[in-house]
Amino acid sequence: MSIVSVSLDDELLEEVDGFVEEQGFSGRSEVFRTALRSLMSDRRRVSRLEGVLDAVLMVTVAGGESGKVDTVQHRHQEIVTTQLHNHLEGGTCLEVFVVHGEAEEVQNFYGRLQSLDTVNQVKMVSP
């Protein structure tokens, strides 16, 4: 098994350590392996989408950091039919996008949102 070094801020590391104990994981590595398997499974599901589709993308963003999301959204504005921005507790913002378009374009939008360093998570729901 390969060893990979990862940099985390103190707050996230504390959260991971608490999760390890709370959920009974054998250690941090097992939490990261589980999280990565989940991420890769989700990406495989999204990559199998075909044709024209409708979907909802829910994005949580670190407070006050929606600028990069806006930039990505503008690049994909032809598929965004509705956008909702909401302020959550703790300074986090929720962006909800209803999209309609070719699967490849929806996948591209989803992937770009996921790659932003200001985004906490992206979830996609599609029929």
Say if residue 124's pLDDT is above 80: yes
Contacts of 25 (CB under 8 A, 6+ apart): 19, 31, 34
pTM of the model: 0.79
Q: For position 108, what pLDDT does the model report?
A: 95
Indicate the domain borders of the chain.
10-44, 51-125
Q: What is the pLDDT of residue 73?
A: 93
The CA–CA distances, whole Å, from 13 to 3, 30, 31, 37 equal 18, 14, 11, 19
Rounded CA-CA distance 16/19 in Å is 5
Q: What is the structure's pLDDT at 126?
A: 87
Question: What pLDDT was estimated at residue 110?
Answer: 95
For range 25-38, the mean pLDDT: 92
pLDDT at 121: 92
Which helix (H) or strand (E) covers residue 110, if one does? helix 103-115
Using one digit for the tens of pLDDT, what is the confidence trace for 48-105? 999 999 999 999 998 777 788 999 999 999 999 999 999 998 889 999 999 999 999 9
**N-terminal to C-terminal alpha carbon distance within the chain:** 37
Start-end of H helices in the chain: 10-23, 28-47, 67-75, 103-115
pLDDT at residue 17 above 90? yes
CA distances from 54 to 6, 49, 50 (A): 36, 11, 11
pLDDT at 14: 93
In total, the chain counts a number of residues equal to 127
Q: What percent of the chain has pLDDT over 90?
A: 69
Report the C-alpha gap between 12 and 88 in whole angstroms: 19
> What kind of fold does domain 51-125 have according to CATH?
Alpha-Beta Plaits (3.30.70)
